[in-house]
Amino acid sequence: MAKSVALLMIMAICYLKAIASSQVNIFLLAGQSNMSGLGGVVMNIWDGIVPPECSPNPAILKLGANLQWVEASEPLHADIDVNVTCGIGPGMPFANSLLNKTSSLGIVGLVPCAMAGNTISQWQKGTFLYNQLVKRTKAATLQEFGVIRAMLWYQGESDTVRPSDADTYKGKMQQFFTDLRSDIGMPELLIIQVALASGLNYTETVREAQLYPDLANVVTVDAKGLQLHNDNLHLTASSQVLLGHMMAHAFLQRISNTSSLIGSQY
């Protein structure tokens, strides 16, 4: 028994040393329920099925609710978005896709920050969600643990209900992105956002803002047409896998392109 414990301790120490000596590429994950991930969740019950593209990998870490790094696994947002039943989201397939396509990438660190049911107003500077995002971002980079590469952003369904929210979405989105970049000291932070796959009466108004953000270093991937659950709101697990691949492709394309694109779409 003692030998087994000692062996586990040695393995853990070796693992931590490997992480410390590797480049950790950090990605922020923010938005509402489709970023939290409700793939495979029906009637508030997750089916427990983890697609191969979402499998754990020792090279994929996540910053837990306690601000400690652990090996990432689905449901990625389970300890963050605690008021809903989380399932499959785009984060794990995104990370696995990056590692599969770029062997030299090193370690991927995911920082889940999404919460279901919020509007863009609830992400403005000074709000709880904004403050949590900034806090977790700064915690992720303590002691030069890694480098923030991008924020993955999927939000807006709640802003399609009322015309006043939809009409002011673009300005609030721009302000949120600008404030965040300033407060974390990354004025050119790459933001990969998702144009909505679902919504209510004013979906196209919000999508228009997302497809044409008019800000530098904001790349938009379009989720329109991806399969939804029967609620016509949340992406299925297979759609979340596809979305993760789309976001990974957009990231790799963007960093391989040295020109400064504004509002790129994929």
Domains of the chain in sequence order = 23-265 (3.40.50.1110)
Model pLDDT, residue 29: 99
- Residue 65 pLDDT greater than 50, yes or no: yes
If one compares 254 and 13, the residue with the highest pLDDT of the two is: 254
Q: What's the pLDDT score for residue 3? A: 54
- pLDDT given at position 103: 75
Per DSSP, the three-state class of 190 is: coil
How do residues 2-32 score in pLDDT, each as one tens digit? Answer: 555 444 444 443 444 444 446 799 999 999 9
Condensed to tens digits (0 to 9), the pLDDT of residues 88-143 reads 999 999 999 999 998 788 999 999 999 999 999 999 999 999 999 999 999 999 87
pTM: 0.90
pLDDT value for 257: 79
Mean pLDDT, rounded, of the chain: 91
Beta bridge partners of 71: 61
Are the C-beta atoms of 216 and 20 separated by less than 8 Å? Answer: no
**Structure tokens given for 263:** 């509002």
Please identify every residue annotated as catalytic. 33, 231, 234
Rounded distance between C-alpha atoms, residue 189 and residue 237, angstroms: 28
Amino acid letter, 70: V
What is the per-residue pLDDT for 266? Answer: 53
- The Cα–Cα gap between 232 and 145 comes to 40
pLDDT for residue 240? 99
pLDDT at 265 over 60: no
Average pLDDT over residues 50-67: 98
Q: Write down the pLDDT at residue 105.
A: 85
pLDDT at 264 over 80: no
From 38-52, 79-93, 135-149, the region with the lowest mean pLDDT: 135-149
* pLDDT, tens digit (0-9, with 9 covering 90-100), for 191-228: 999 999 999 999 999 999 999 999 999 999 999 999 99
Count of alpha carbons within 13 Å of 207, Cβ hemisphere only? Answer: 14
Please report the pLDDT score of residue 142 as a whole number: 87
